[in-house]
Amino acid sequence: MYVIGFSCVCILLVIYYLKVKFNADEFDVKDKYLPIIGHLCLFLNNRNENLKLFHLQYGNCFNLYLFNQRIRFLLDPKDWLNVNRNRSFVFLGETFSRRIFDMTHNFFGQAQLDHELQSFWNIFLKNSNELNLLNDKLNQQLQSYLRAKRSQLNQCGVEMNFFDFLYDLLFYSIGRTFYGEIELNEIRNEFRWFDYHIQYLFLLFPSLIYEMFFSRLFTCRNLLNKFWLKHVHSPNESHLVNQRTDFILNHRNYFSDKDYSGEKTFLLWSSISNTIPTLFWSLIHIFKEKNLFELISNEIERNSSVHLDSIIDEVLRLYSNPMIMRKAIRDFQFKLNDGRTIEIKQNDITAFYPHIAQTNHNYFTNPNQFQFDRFTNGKAEQVVGYLPFGAGKSMCPGRLFAKNAIKLTIIHLIQHLQIHRDEFQRFSIEENPKRQGIGVSHPQRDFLFTLQFK
């Protein structure tokens, strides 16, 4: 049966490939292109290294293909700023939320409704009063989780995986900050499986591929979404979740159960998926270097965070690698910053990969080195080539909360844990290439550390 199914898939892919007219372009990358699947192998392997190589060979503009979908990469940050201003490009939010979180989006096309829904991000994640309430609640949840851990341990502590420890710490602390008193243990394993494999849903595979090879991933997603249907409101949930939920429930003509539950899965995933690895890499650098550990410890005692802020910004510069995409809604000409004009076809995907600029010597000195004080002037996001949170209207609305979550967690861990720095010095920094293109890289492997309280 498997052989028959595989053969059918191959035949259908050939038909799909032949059905769509292939128009060669002077910017097409011929290297490692294969019929039908295009440059799929490059996307599945080390995207950072492959895109850097193509950047050296082809410059700031080149085309790659996923199956028969052309993806035009524009790697000059100034070009991307112009893409954001051009109304002929649209954000792929609807496409991704349908594919990844199984929303139906009956509310799309309802401009006022969509505007009001998105306004909750500004009200609760950017307004200082509401953001402070979230920070205070998160602080309480972090303390509660660590107290519970302390009560389970003896004075000698216990060995456990470091990334796993941070994952659970933020999964439960941030989850309860947003959703209140809710039993997250029910979805913990499904959520980790979903998060670990979610990168495949960001690739623009034909639907047939997803149906044939990613059934378990969809099963996990469906279990997560069904969980929220059992927990419409929970005690002590955040104002953000409370009011967004009521807004959706009050407009049931436009929002389906899939929209409601998919929104909640999306909020949980987006709040921790990049926060956890950013916290991981920040702590690795702080704990590996004695002088840096002492500097941050002293800074925390003085109730300051100048260098801690700089470390987080530097970690994002080095380890964040989202692939930001826009879709063309018509044929038109687009003028590049270097003076060239390119032809954009309807349904073409235009992509920017900030990691290329963030590790480019034209924007940063010694770009591949970690420099903890690089951003002590607090001007990271003013650098043209620095875009770890995206740009324009689709820029991550939760970036302030995420940074505060990372800082609060680092402060608690330094204040309350007995740090065995030799365990961190033995760790060799390697990124997992499978996560590249989604956000902040995860580590290639975890390592054991001693969880011990002072």
Residues 159, 162, 167, 173, Cα dihedral to 10°: 70
pLDDT at 331: 95
Distance CA 363, CA 353 (A): 15
What region, left, alpha or beta, does residue 153 occupy, with left being phi > 0 and alpha being psi -120 to 50 degrees? beta
Q: What is the mean pLDDT of the chain?
A: 89
pLDDT at 158: 93
Instruction: Please give the average per-residue pLDDT across 1-10, as a whole number.
Output: 52
What's the predicted TM-score (pTM) here? 0.92
pLDDT at 14: 52
pLDDT at 202: 86
Instruction: Please give the average per-residue pLDDT across 39-63, as a whole number.
Output: 90
Distance CA 11, CA 110 (A): 40
Instruction: Please give the average per-residue pLDDT across 369-397, as a whole number.
Output: 83
The answer, yes or no, to whether residue 210 has pLDDT greater than 90, is: no
Residues of the chain with pLDDT > 70: what percent?
Answer: 93
The angle that helices 128-152 and 399-416 make with each other, rounded to 10 degrees, is 30
- Identify the band that residue 11 occupies on the pLDDT scale cut at 50, 70 and 90: low
- 63 vs 117, residue with greater confidence: 63
Shortest CA distance to 147 belongs to which of 416, 448, 449? Answer: 416
The answer, yes or no, to whether residue 214 has pLDDT greater than 60, is: yes
pLDDT at 1: 46
